[in-house]
Structure 1
Amino acid sequence: MTETETGGLELPFPKNHAPLPSFKYIIGFLEQICEVSGVGSNFKRRQLITEFINQWRKDIGNDIYPAFQLFLPKIDDTLKQLQVKESTLSKQVVSSLHINPQSADAVLIMETTGVFNRSRFGNNNKSEDLGSKCETALANRKTNVEYSNWTLDKVFHMILTYSGSGKEKKQQVVDEIVNELSPKEVKWIIRILLRNLRIDCSEKTFLQCFHPNALDVYKVVSSLKLICSQLWDPEILLQQKDTLIRLYSCFKPMRAKFIPGVYDDLNKVVAKMDRHTSGDTPNGSFYIEEKVDGERIQLHYGDYGKKCQFFSRRGNDFSSLYGTSTESKGTITPYLKQYLSPTVESCILDGEMVAVDIETGEICSVSNVRQTAKIKGKKLQNVFLVFDCLYKNGNELSEYCLHDRKKVMESIFKKEPASHKSLKTAHIMILPYTTGHDQTHIKDALTKGINEMSEGLVIKNIFSKYILDGRNDAWIKVKPEFVNGYIGENFDLLLVGAYKGKGGNRTQYASYLCALKLQNTFLPLCRVGSGISSAMHQYIDDKISSEVFSSESVPDFLKTEGFKYKSNLRPDVYITPEDSIVLEIKATQILETDGEYSLRFPRFVKVREDKDCNNSLTLSDFLEYKKYLDSKFGDRSKNDKNDDNKKRKSSYIVGGSKLRQPEKKTMEKKSSLFDGIKFFITSDIDDPKYISAEDLTAIIVEHGGIETRNIDPTVIVIGDKKSPNVVSYMFKSGDDCRVIHPSWIFDCINTNEVLGFEPQHFFIGKKDYSLVDRYGFPLFRKITNEKVAEILSDMEPDEFRHSELQMTLEYLFPMNETQTKSTLFAHMRVFVFNYDDIALQLLRYGSALITECKESATHLLYKNLPPSETHGCIPISSQQIRSLWIRV
């Protein structure tokens, strides 16, 4: 191994003086660790780990890497590549046992437990993971519970065989494990395969017990094998140069810190910057960067581009995707020569790899980053956004302040042409940043970020050093959804499922599945756990605990088509809608992917005690918001289409001050029509044509009206659909609810007077009929010809015969006076049979037609009138006529 490959360490490789022990030896230690609990448990675990390491050195030798591989599979160079699915492994175990999939043991093994495997250190409830379930099932069936004679070499061989084989070979490996190992051994080998030992010990604990410098070295090399092989002697301490960042050695990057409560007062961010300020900048200068939606990547560039490596934050090598040299294939390295200065022999750049739509210049979801590198002939391309430099031409820079590192970073790049500054055409570029001094600069950047739909901001102190694998107050992330004035729209969603907690919270539900109402079913929308206090968790649990139930299949009341309902959304327990509660959730974006919808950053607000499953948010109302936002930001994208530096995600900001308080453009006041009248606009309108809430507000303001977000009896609520705002208002107001159709606004403007509310103006509420006649004609204002036609079309045909209009015609045009041609038959009410063409002429000259022969008829016009129609009509009818008489 060369110096470059070892990260500069030059200690001799260790050798063991005895063969590797049996698997039983490792299991004995792991069982001891699991038994530790209570006060001082962390100290006891460290003590056990130290004793194990010392005993290994004494009995086996100085090469402890084989044991550490099993203890720390998540960070081992080999085992961290394992991609074993718990659901697949559970089915293979059931198949190996040759039992009915519907049997109790099979159901126990295959029961969904993925939610627990996401725990970083596991939890103390061992009955919940797949390994423990398999141990229980095997203990009920196997007579042999003695340990096997498998060595560690055999264990590694079986694990690697399973990892690199096809379906049939995998099943054979599981068969051998189940048939030859004891139940306890099966439990641990399954946990190793799933890379989660559930022993409440992190890699930091093991490394600190192994060697005083092990953790520091791990931060700069990320190689468990290298650490174990080079730091085998705890008496030999490393010099500072041995813990510096090195080329081609993946390091643990510095991360931005989240500080609770900082978002309500941005002065707290500025105060944190002051703590890290040198005497040269008493005002606490800081850099402001956009937090982009990408994957953290470090680029190691050496020998003028002949060798390049890309590492993720977790140490995964993605060079095969982005390129291994400037001469190789990849989405980044073939273009590096165009961007980097020819004087750069080597460098390490820290940044974010993003996927960009080359047609719009928009940064797409992080889920597209690696897919973009794998798919050819696409409209997406990778762009590496660089924000830090840790190494240049043999000089390690982590001890330099950020201000100096930025200067070095900029010197690495050529003077960028315009094409290199555009996300549409660039492949690597410096992430733009600005300098701030107070909270005003942060607020301005946040406002700009809101308009461009960015992730948020990262505030960095200019004089901060680069802390490997660390977070401190020098880098603080600020996201818009947590800042006052940027809170998203609220949604009242029904709780339909719950997820169990982890570790010490195992007895409490940690998060909840919320859904939209669709007739008698519900559509899963989001999982929410953020923003819920322990007391509120307990309150919700008390509300639902007696009503929850488990189910292998999705209950009938959940409709999953068209919505994200993958394994990460499947809850541990369900609750029927009738027994559940409604949660008020706020979110910052509506996300849409291939027709599936979800909420971005959902946060709990409160329990809606006044609502139940019958009045939670419906799918149609939810989509009304999406439609509004689609229109709103679609217009904005058209205005900004020529701005190549605009970076907006393909999603929709929900609510926020921009939506809830539409920006009132500077405009001339056209009239004082609505002076002193306050309006609450619930949503966009679609009738008589689509008008956004913002534009409708502008129309009202132009005529002197006042837009408000607080409803009281003096406020006129405007809406033409049951949006969430309307639904909320309905249930708060009860019988006093009154929502006015937006047509009232335009009727007032057309007549230039504030009208009373006619029945047609009520979208919701008790209608007042005192302002119209019995047919709907307004009594105190003019209406258009189109409105007259609309009212007439709604009238029953015979209704006209008895109307005031007919009597008016008879009054104006008596039969004994000279008549105009158009009113020739105005005094007649004719029953016509088999003479449709004649009927049209009668109507043309003022006659009224009736649909059946009855007392109201004054004349009959018929051809071949059947006896059933003539019965009773002849004595009543005053005249019977023929068509010839009409034509004459």
Structure 2
Amino acid sequence: MSEDEIATKFPNRPQNHSETLKFHELYLTLFDPLAENKKKKTGIGLRGRKDLKPHEVRRQIIDNFIARWRNEVGNDIFPAFRLILCDKDRDRNVYNLKEQKIGKLLVKVMKIDRKSEDGSALIHWKNPRSWQKNAGDFALRCYDIIKKRPMRTTPGDLTISQVNAMLDRLAQGSGEEQQLPIMEQFYNEMCAEELTWLIRIILRAMKVGATEKTFFDAWHPDADALYNVSSSLRRVCWDLWDPNFRLQDDTKGITLMSCFQPQLAQFQKKNMEDTVKAMGGTEFWIEEKLDGERMQMHFDGRNFEWWSRKAKEYTHLYGETQTEGAIARFTGSAFNRNVKSIILDGEMITWDPVMDTIVGFGTLKTAAIETNNNPHGQGHRPLFRVFDILYLNGKCLVDYSLSDRRKALERAVKDVPRRLEIHPYTPANTAREIESELRKVIASASEGLVIKKPESAYRLNDRNDSWIKVKPEYMTEFGESLDLLVIGGYWGQGSRGNILASYLCGLRLDGNYLKPGDPKVKYWSFCKVGGGFTANDYKLIEHNTHGHWKDWAPGKGPDFIELAGGPREYERPNVWIPPEKSFVIEVKAAQVSNSDQFRTGFTLRFPRLKNIRSDKSWDSALTISDFLRLKNEAVEAEEEKKLELEIRKGRAKRIKKELKVAGGDAVPEFVGEPTPTQVDDVKPLFEGHSFFVMSDSISPKTPKAEIEALIKANGGKIYQNIREDPKAHLIGDRNTVKIAAVKKANQRDIIRPHWVFDCLQHRYILPLEPDRYVLHALPETAEEIQHNIDEFADSYARNVEVDELKQILDGMTVSDEKSSLSQEVMHSEEIKEMGELPGLIFRDSMVYFPTDMCLPKIMVEFAGGKVSETLEEDTLTHIVVHGVEDAERARKKVAECKIPRVVSEMWVRESVKAKTLLDEDRFVI
């Protein structure tokens, strides 16, 4: 804001009669005393009184500072408040400086070798091994290092106004070249204590033990109310400089074109019943909690202003008039013709018009810019979902009930589809209805729910029980309980500094996941767990693992751990631990979600520690195969729960299913041929191929996450956006909204997941086939793939299974004449003499099939063999079975008979493929 704009907007701003205080007075008389008082349970007043409580001492410290400022400086306290309440100052740009970047600047300012102990301590500030004190508190770590080599040993002469001017320049600077000289000036003119508090101001992490409300109340009785309706620290200081001046009631409400502090949702109650009780036992509303950015829209009939929850203005993105911006330009039909002015509260989200679905929050700014450049394009776009109206035609509505505000909203605003829409809600009365809605949002990977009381008023900058959020991470009814092995750790910060505060868990590779050359024990990174630990948990972990943690050197991690991202090493831990020295934790999670940050290709959403399993050995934790089996069981359990609900509706007795903990029992070996959930130990099959999986598989029933994991484990690349790679294979098996949109656009083929499974089974990329592999095909694709099957729909490129062969045979129409001719030719002496042909390799075999195996039977007969219908045949040579269980049953039935061989059906298949009779010993079961 320029000086001219300031003079126009604040004509009565106060003027100080003297220079501001020195910067060091802030920490000597305010910051340090407050921080010291924060540690005490009982207070000692500034005059030695021992009967004061800590909150009374806190107020006394602040009152004394404000009184001194008024007396020695004047009534304009804004220069001091923008340093004291630095996180509330919206007039200064962000510095784009985090701890590590500040550490690198200080290393250069102090001319420290970055590989030295001090240099490493500044850059790797969370690591307690590089420095024995103050790990996790970056500012204190800086203090320990600066005090060794200070330019000043006494406080400097910089004033508060000078520091503000330098911080303005620091915020305006872009990159190290412009910011380094300013940091050098601070270092030259401040002592170590001053620099410590300056770093906290830059990081906007003061933590002095007093909130902005405490400072506001000490400054003026109406300061907090004015900040709630204006979000302006400057206005609080300049409009309310006189303690005797009081705001009128009508000026305490929100005003048009002035950002306010919105109402926030209260945290989740312990259980659903408590949430229902908080609603007063009457009807409540359930809204989906959207994954976007909280946004308020102001419109005065001509111009718009858009503000985020943190009072950042986005008018340049979303539009100032109805002829510009990513949203404003589409609002021509949004407002009733009687609307002269309006303020709306809602969520700005990203929408994919092709898939007709919400996209993750991280793409919002990019989508707004793209929409401004191409307003009617088919790319991602911002969508404003409105859930409240707070101002209409000059009247503030915050004191009206939510139901009354909703009626006003529906009369004043009309939906502009996929641009500006009124957010829907579901009326409810019971905890069961909340649970049902929560299941829906978990299934769609949404944020959660917000439960609202219809008769409640709107409370600015407040959390109360009239709005309560319900998010999956708070639930105990959902998700899996998993036994996971810890393979790495991350150093904490703040109150958890100097300890390993969170842990990397992995899944052990087993079965066909282990490749030639892999270590015998190998783990893929799976999830990061940092919630649910108590102080005693950390002590127990430290006691049991002391001396076993090893530093992770970038690019030189242990060979038994594989992270995602290749050389970039996503989610790289600070330290690692050998499996046999580690420990098992029981983890609760809301659901599994896809993630490129972990090697498994998926991770846990909202993981939280449930228990440390001291009774479990490291090799009993969850494996890859365990997890995939668990996912299938979860799908079945969901279906069972739906059935259970139907039974409950019929007032039948509900049977509670015992909770199972995965990873605790031994894993059975795989039997027979690989299933679609296994990965063979061959060169990555899908290397060079990319995929966008749009739905789960209907047959075989396989979750979307598992399909993606199979593809990634076999070298394929997964995208979550259809436009990221125009050559990506689109995989889908259900007529979802996304798939319907692709069909309607008719620009891409959609392949069924069965193609992925068959490719893995045959170990090569199969050509597409109509019906079996293609859900939707472009005309040119449909014509091309017809050449991959014969007239009976039999594939030219792959083996067919029994059920499929039955369908093919049922569709064939072969005349009796041809059939008899075939038999005649088959048994002719001339053909029998040509024994080297595969058609006669079984001519000396009499084979019995205890189960129905259509294709192997045909192979045996075609190749000159005979099929027995009973076990009593004297000339019987072989029994062909599916697997071990069939073999055991067959042996029991023929215990008194002389049976040369009990072999797998693969003996038949492989003999035909090799065109010779193979040694049965290789196929004995």
Superposed CA offset, 1:789-848 (max 9, x none): 4588899978579999xxxxxxxxxxxxxxxxxxxxxxxxxxxxxxxxxxxxxxxxxxxx
Q: 3-state DSSP class of the match of 1:472?
A: strand
Contact 2:293-2:308 within 8 A present in 1 as well: yes
* TM-score, with structure 2 as normaliser: 0.65
**Residue number in structure 2 paired with 1:357:** 352
**Residue number in structure 2 paired with 1:560:** 563
Superposed CA offset, 1:345-369 (max 9, x none): 1111111111111112111212222
Does residue 348 in structure 1 map to residue 334 in structure 2?
Answer: no
Contact 2:486-2:503 within 8 A present in 1 as well: no
* TM-score, with structure 1 as normaliser: 0.67
1:605, CA displacement in angstroms? Answer: 2.7
Q: What CA distance in whole angstroms lies between the structure 2 residues aligned with 1:480 and 1:764?
A: 45
Cα distance, 1:197–1:477 mapped onto 2, change above 3 Å: closer
1:522, CA displacement in angstroms? Answer: 4.1
Correspondences of 1:567-578 after superposition (within 5 Å)? 569=571, 574-578=576-580
Q: What CA distance in whole angstroms lies between the structure 1 residues aligned with 2:637 and 2:227?
A: 45
Q: 3-state DSSP class of the match of 2:332?
A: helix
Q: 3-state DSSP class of the match of 2:277?
A: helix
Q: What CA distance in whole angstroms lies between the structure 2 residues aligned with 1:223 and 1:366?
A: 26
Superposed CA offset, 1:748-786 (max 9, x none): 98499xx9x9996359999997678887527xxxx97x7
**Residue number in structure 2 paired with 1:881:** none
1:285, CA displacement in angstroms? Answer: 1.3
Q: 1:490 aligns with which of 482, 489, 504?
A: 482
Does residue 516 in structure 1 map to residue 522 in structure 2?
Answer: no
Which structure 2 residue ranges, 5 or more long, are not aligned? 43-53, 510-517, 647-659, 678-695, 703-756, 758-800, 807-848, 855-870, 872-878
Q: 3-state DSSP class of the match of 1:74?
A: helix
1:48, CA displacement in angstroms? Answer: 0.9
**Residue number in structure 2 paired with 1:606:** 611
Correspondences of 1:769-808 after superposition (within 5 Å)? 777=902, 788-790=908-910, 799=919
Contact 1:525-1:563 within 8 A present in 2 as well: no
Q: 2:166 aligns with which of 158, 162, 165?
A: 158
Superposed CA offset, 1:643-692 (max 9, x none): xxxxxxxxxxx7694278686999xxxxxxxxxxxxx9999999577599
Cα distance, 1:792–1:775 mapped onto 2, change above 3 Å: farther
1:344, CA displacement in angstroms? Answer: 1.3
**Residue number in structure 1 paired with 2:529:** 528
Q: What CA distance in whole angstroms lies between the structure 1 residues aligned with 2:408 and 2:292?
A: 23
**Residue number in structure 2 paired with 1:197:** 206
Q: What CA distance in whole angstroms lies between the structure 2 residues aligned with 1:241 and 1:197?
A: 34
1:324, CA displacement in angstroms? Answer: 1.8
Kindly tell me the number of residue pairs found equivalent between the two proteins.
Answer: 680
Superposed CA offset, 1:585-635 (max 9, x none): 233343335675433211223334454554544457657878x79xxxxxx
Q: What CA distance in whole angstroms lies between the structure 2 residues aligned with 1:316 and 1:575?
A: 44
Contact 2:555-2:567 within 8 A present in 1 as well: no
Cα distance, 1:443–1:91 mapped onto 2, change above 3 Å: closer
Q: What CA distance in whole angstroms lies between the structure 1 residues aligned with 2:922 and 2:419?
A: 79
**Residue number in structure 1 paired with 2:654:** none
Q: What CA distance in whole angstroms lies between the structure 1 residues aligned with 2:886 and 2:550?
A: 39
**Residue number in structure 2 paired with 1:53:** 66
Q: 2:452 aligns with which of 457, 460, 475?
A: 460
**Residue number in structure 2 paired with 1:449:** 441
Does residue 310 in structure 1 map to residue 331 in structure 2?
Answer: no
Q: What CA distance in whole angstroms lies between the structure 1 residues aligned with 2:636 and 2:466?
A: 28
Q: What CA distance in whole angstroms lies between the structure 2 residues aligned with 1:471 and 1:136?
A: 39
1:76, CA displacement in angstroms? Answer: 0.6
**Residue number in structure 2 paired with 1:831:** none
1:187, CA displacement in angstroms? Answer: 2.0
**Residue number in structure 2 paired with 1:658:** 638
Cα distance, 1:43–1:352 mapped onto 2, change above 3 Å: same
Residue type of the partner of 1:164? Q
Q: 2:112 aligns with which of 79, 82, 99?
A: 99
Cα distance, 1:398–1:493 mapped onto 2, change above 3 Å: farther
Identical pairs, percent? 29
1:482, CA displacement in angstroms? Answer: 4.5
**Residue number in structure 2 paired with 1:76:** 89
Correspondences of 1:290-439 after superposition (within 5 Å)? 290-302=288-300, 304=301, 306-328=302-324, 330-375=325-370, 379-414=379-414, 416=415, 420=416, 425-439=417-431
Q: 3-state DSSP class of the match of 1:409?
A: helix
**Residue number in structure 2 paired with 1:31:** 32
Residue type of the partner of 1:226? R
Cα distance, 1:132–1:535 mapped onto 2, change above 3 Å: closer
1:241, CA displacement in angstroms? Answer: 1.8
Does residue 169 in structure 1 map to residue 171 in structure 2?
Answer: no
Deviates further, 440-449 or 387-396: 440-449
Residue type of the partner of 2:453? N
Contact 2:384-2:420 within 8 A present in 1 as well: yes
Cα distance, 1:402–1:564 mapped onto 2, change above 3 Å: farther
Correspondences of 1:827-866 after superposition (within 5 Å)? none
Contact 2:151-2:187 within 8 A present in 1 as well: no
Residue type of the partner of 2:351? V
Residue type of the partner of 2:506? A
Q: 2:155 aligns with which of 137, 141, 147?
A: 147
1:75, CA displacement in angstroms? Answer: 1.0
Residue type of the partner of 1:163? A
Cα distance, 1:193–1:615 mapped onto 2, change above 3 Å: same
Q: 3-state DSSP class of the match of 1:49?
A: helix
Residue type of the partner of 1:438? T
1:582, CA displacement in angstroms? Answer: 2.0
Cα distance, 1:301–1:795 mapped onto 2, change above 3 Å: same
Does residue 761 in structure 1 map to residue 883 in structure 2?
Answer: yes
Q: 3-state DSSP class of the match of 1:511?
A: strand
Q: What CA distance in whole angstroms lies between the structure 2 residues aligned with 1:801 and 1:229?
A: 94
**Residue number in structure 2 paired with 1:814:** none
Contact 1:515-1:524 within 8 A present in 2 as well: yes
**Residue number in structure 2 paired with 1:705:** none
Q: What CA distance in whole angstroms lies between the structure 2 residues aligned with 1:249 and 1:765?
A: 80
Q: 3-state DSSP class of the match of 1:354?
A: strand
Correspondences of 1:13-24 after superposition (within 5 Å)? 13-24=13-24
Deviates further, 217-226 or 610-619: 610-619
Cα distance, 1:595–1:481 mapped onto 2, change above 3 Å: closer
Contact 2:151-2:190 within 8 A present in 1 as well: no
Contact 2:284-2:429 within 8 A present in 1 as well: yes
Contact 2:489-2:501 within 8 A present in 1 as well: no
Contact 2:134-2:497 within 8 A present in 1 as well: no
Q: What CA distance in whole angstroms lies between the structure 2 residues aligned with 1:801 and 1:470?
A: 77
Q: What CA distance in whole angstroms lies between the structure 2 residues aligned with 1:229 and 1:367?
A: 37
1:284, CA displacement in angstroms? Answer: 0.5
Correspondences of 1:623-772 after superposition (within 5 Å)? 657-658=637-638, 750=852, 761-762=883-884
Q: 3-state DSSP class of the match of 2:150?
A: coil
**Greater CA radius of gyration, 1 or 2?**
1
**Residue number in structure 2 paired with 1:730:** none
Contact 2:136-2:492 within 8 A present in 1 as well: no
Q: 3-state DSSP class of the match of 1:102?
A: coil
Q: What CA distance in whole angstroms lies between the structure 1 residues aligned with 2:636 and 2:291?
A: 20
Contact 2:850-2:881 within 8 A present in 1 as well: no
1:137, CA displacement in angstroms? Answer: 2.2
Deviates further, 602-611 or 579-588: 602-611
**Residue number in structure 2 paired with 1:836:** none
Q: What CA distance in whole angstroms lies between the structure 2 residues aligned with 1:441 and 1:494?
A: 37
Contact 2:136-2:491 within 8 A present in 1 as well: no
1:584, CA displacement in angstroms? Answer: 2.6
Residue type of the partner of 2:419? H
**Residue number in structure 2 paired with 1:711:** none
Superposed CA offset, 1:27-71 (max 9, x none): 322233333221144432222111101111111111111011111
Contact 2:294-2:308 within 8 A present in 1 as well: yes
Superposed CA offset, 1:254-309 (max 9, x none): 122223422xxx333222111xxxxxxxx61111211222211111121x2x2211
**CA RMSD between the two structures:** 4.6
Contact 2:402-2:455 within 8 A present in 1 as well: yes
Residue type of the partner of 1:605? K
